[in-house]
């Protein structure tokens, strides 16, 4: 043989760099299911099923094209259970002239790859920003706000542009995308994909092995092939895109997906191409099938946020993983793993996460993330939770969202201010507060919404830091203008709640 081509579990794209120049007659593609990758975080079993099943389908599609695939299953007795071990074992058995791989998405794996024998590691070109684009844009300071990066990407790819100007005369329609969902609006079902024989094999393999992990494989319906992923995306275009914008920030009990695309998991595996999704959404606008606020909002998530987060991750790793600008030290309370809490919003989001390995952005940011921020939970533990519980979780996108956007642990690299909010925000954007044990209008007292006192305590704890941030001027001023008596009551209530959190007592 001449070349051993390594394809990782989240590199399942036909055009992935490692397969460029593939010689079907002489090359071998290596794909390996290894325990090291299934357990470096206690991943949701649905995520493990998704990755392994998608890998097996991808290998089958390669074989159907006549490609030789060395596929190592998780339960293969000779499996060394690490990627490096499998590359070395394959190299010893096949004696290739060289090894070719695509750069891993995560720092940890790329570091390991660099120790592989005689490996050529190619840039991953499956993103909208070409290699080097982000670092050049961020410049020597390694900084810059997402909004400006997003505009540069729109220009670069000529997406939603009329010449050099944005379609509709504005770059951003965010202000139109913050509506509360009226109770009368029917939420469409999302397309699900029944497990085929390959997935059923994987379900049996995973169900018995990862019982200590959060969640179960029951009800698995993620797309596991590129064709299914495209069908799932078409379903979004047809049934949800038009209303994606209006209710982008809304949350509703027992409605996990609302009008969101549910594409992050297959997208991060490589089953979908990000630029193609943006172009398809733009086509829907140009054909009159969806309004501009919806389409621009959707494109901003992919062409803007997703690319920006990846850029920031690679620019600031490995230091980023140690950032803790607010000195948050509290351990993650057990309720994150059980969903057992009287706070209805938290119970809902954690419960649906356990069930579907999914929560949409505002649920992750303004419920579980906001609580972790206000309660001063340690970023390492919060990171581990987000990495474990979502089907779409990979460190390159999870960490800047968690440590940066949700926890402000990076001190403002990703966001210009902490996304801190009291219960009023959650009440405005959801129906969670109706029927909650707590009263969202109260800040003190035994039945007062915990988010309220925790919010003010958070402002008070970090007053000296926030005083220097003009975007925090309002809450800082409000705290300063509060009567001493009120401030003391709030801090007492927060002190009680924080004690309960530390003791893992019911809250």
Residues that bind ligand FAD (CB under 6 A): 260-264, 267-268, 301-302, 305-306, 309, 360-361, 364-365, 369, 386, 390, 392-393, 397-398, 401-402, 405-406
Q: What is the DSSP string of 100-156?
A: EEEPPSSHHHHHHHTTSTTEEEE----SSSPTTHHHHHHTTTT---HHHHHHHHHHH
* Interface residues toward ligand SF4, by CB under 6 A: 343-345, 423, 426-427, 432-433, 436, 438, 440, 449-451
Residue closer to ligand SF4 (CB basis): 222 or 451? 451
Q: CB under 5 to 8 A by kind: which of ligand FAD, ligand SF4, none does 263 bind?
A: ligand FAD
Q: How many C-beta atoms lie closer than 10 Å to residue 356's C-beta? A: 21
- For 315, list phi and psi in degrees, rounded to 5: -70, -35
Least distance CB 425 / ligand SF4 (angstroms): 8
Q: How far is the CB of 352 from ligand SF4 (least distance, A)?
A: 14
For ligand SF4, the closer CB: 32 or 507: 507
Sign of the CA dihedral running 266, 267, 270, 273? positive
Q: Nearest approach, Cβ of 263 to ligand FAD (angstroms)?
A: 4
Residue 305 binding target from ligand SF4, ligand FAD, none, CB below 5 to 8 Å by type: ligand FAD
Distance CA 270, CA 18 (A): 13
End-to-end CA distance of the chain: 62
279 binds, among ligand SF4, ligand FAD, none (CB under 5 to 8 A by kind): none
Considering beta carbons, is residue 85 or 192 the nearer one to ligand FAD?
Answer: 192
H/E element holding 162?
strand 161-162
Give just the sign of the alpha carbon dihedral 302, 304, 307, 308: negative
Identity of the residue, 116 or 314, whose beta carbon is nearer to ligand FAD in the bound complex: 314
* Contacts for 7 with CB less than 8 Å, ≥ 6 apart: 16, 18, 19, 29, 30, 31, 58, 102
Q: Which is nearer to ligand FAD, 27 or 383 (CB)?
A: 383
3-state SS, residue 1: coil
Instruction: Tell me whether strands 98-102 and 68-72 are parallel, antiparallel or unpaired.
Output: unpaired
Q: How many helices (H) and strands (E) does the chain have?
A: 24, 7
Q: Whole-number minimum distance, CB 451 to ligand SF4, in Å?
A: 5
Distance CA 51, CA 11 (A): 10
Pick the closer one to ligand SF4 by CB: 381 or 439. 439
If contact means CB under 5 to 8 A according to the sort of partner, which of ligand FAD, ligand SF4, none does residue 392 touch? Answer: ligand FAD
423 binds, among ligand FAD, ligand SF4, none (CB under 5 to 8 A by kind): ligand SF4
- Report in angstroms how near the CB of residue 8 gets to ligand FAD at its nearest: 16
Tokens 């801090």 correspond to what residue? 491
Of 268 and 341, nearer to ligand FAD (C-beta) is: 268
Residue 364 interacting entry, from ligand SF4, ligand FAD, none, C-beta within 5 to 8 Å by type: ligand FAD
Place of tokens 């499996």: 79
Contact partner, 365, from ligand SF4, ligand FAD, none, Cβ < 5-8 Å per class? ligand FAD
Residue 396 or 438: the one with the smaller Cβ distance to ligand FAD is: 396
Residues composing the chain: 507
386 binds, among ligand SF4, ligand FAD, none (CB under 5 to 8 A by kind): ligand FAD
Secondary structure E strands in 243-347 = none
């Amino acid at each position: 043989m001449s070349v051993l081509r390594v394809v990782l579990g989240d590199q399942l794209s036909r055009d992935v760099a490692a397969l460029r120049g593939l010689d079907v007659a002489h090359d071998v593609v290596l794909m390996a299911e290894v325990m090291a990758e299934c357990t470096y975080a206690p991943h949701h079993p649905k995520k493990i099923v998704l990755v392994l099943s998608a890998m097996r389908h991808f290998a089958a599609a390669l074989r159907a094209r006549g490609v030789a695939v060395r596929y190592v299953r998780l339960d293969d007795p000779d499996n060394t259970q690490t990627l490096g071990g499998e590359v070395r074992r394959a190299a010893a058995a096949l004696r290739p002239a060289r090894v070719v791989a695509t750069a891993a998405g995560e720092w940890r794996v790329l570091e390991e790859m660099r120790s592989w024998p005689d490996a050529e590691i190619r840039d991953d070109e499956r993103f909208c920003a070409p290699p080097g684009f982000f670092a050049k844009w961020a410049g020597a300071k390694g900084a810059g706000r997402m909004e400006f990066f997003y505009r540069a990407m729109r220009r670069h790819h000529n997406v939603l542009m009329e010449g050099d100007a944005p379609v509709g005369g504005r770059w951003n329609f965010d202000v139109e995308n913050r509506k509360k969902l009226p109770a009368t609006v029917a939420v469409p079902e999302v397309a699900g994909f029944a497990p085929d024989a390959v997935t059923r094999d994987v379900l049996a393999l995973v169900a018995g092995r990862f019982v200590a992990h959060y969640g179960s494989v029951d009800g698995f319906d993620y797309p596991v092939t590129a064709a299914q992923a495209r069908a799932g995306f078409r379903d979004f275009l047809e049934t949800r895109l038009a209303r994606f914008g209006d209710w982008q920030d809304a949350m509703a009990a027992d409605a996990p997906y609302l009008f969101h695309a549910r594409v992050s998991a297959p997208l991060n595996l490589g089953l979908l191409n990000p630029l193609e999704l943006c172009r398809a959404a733009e086509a829907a606008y140009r054909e009159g099938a969806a309004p501009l606020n919806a389409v621009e909002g959707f494109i901003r998530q992919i062409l803007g946020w997703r690319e920006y987060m990846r850029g920031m991750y690679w620019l600031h790793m490995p230091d980023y993983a140690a950032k803790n600008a607010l000195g948050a030290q509290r351990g993650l309370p057990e309720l994150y793993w059980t969903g057992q809490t009287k706070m209805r919003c938290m119970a809902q989001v954690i419960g649906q996460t356990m069930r579907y390995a999914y929560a949409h952005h505002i649920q992750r940011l303004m419920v579980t993330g906001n609580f972790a921020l206000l309660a001063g939970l340690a970023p390492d533990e919060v990171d581990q939770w987000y990495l474990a519980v979502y089907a779409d979780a990979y460190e390159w996108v999870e960490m800047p969202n968690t440590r940066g956007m949700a926890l402000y642990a990076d001190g403002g690299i990703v966001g210009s201010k902490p996304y801190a909010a009291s219960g009023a925000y959650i009440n405005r954007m959801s129906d969670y507060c109706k029927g909650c044990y707590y009263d969202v209008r109260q800040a003190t007292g035994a039945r007062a919404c915990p988010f309220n006192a925790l919010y003010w305590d958070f402002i008070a704890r970090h007053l000296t830091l926030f005083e220097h941030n003009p975007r925090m001027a309002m809450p800082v001023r409000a705290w300063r203008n509060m009567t001493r008596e009120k401030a003391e009551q709030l801090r007492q209530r927060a002190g009680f709640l924080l004690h309960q959190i530390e003791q893992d007592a019911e809250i």
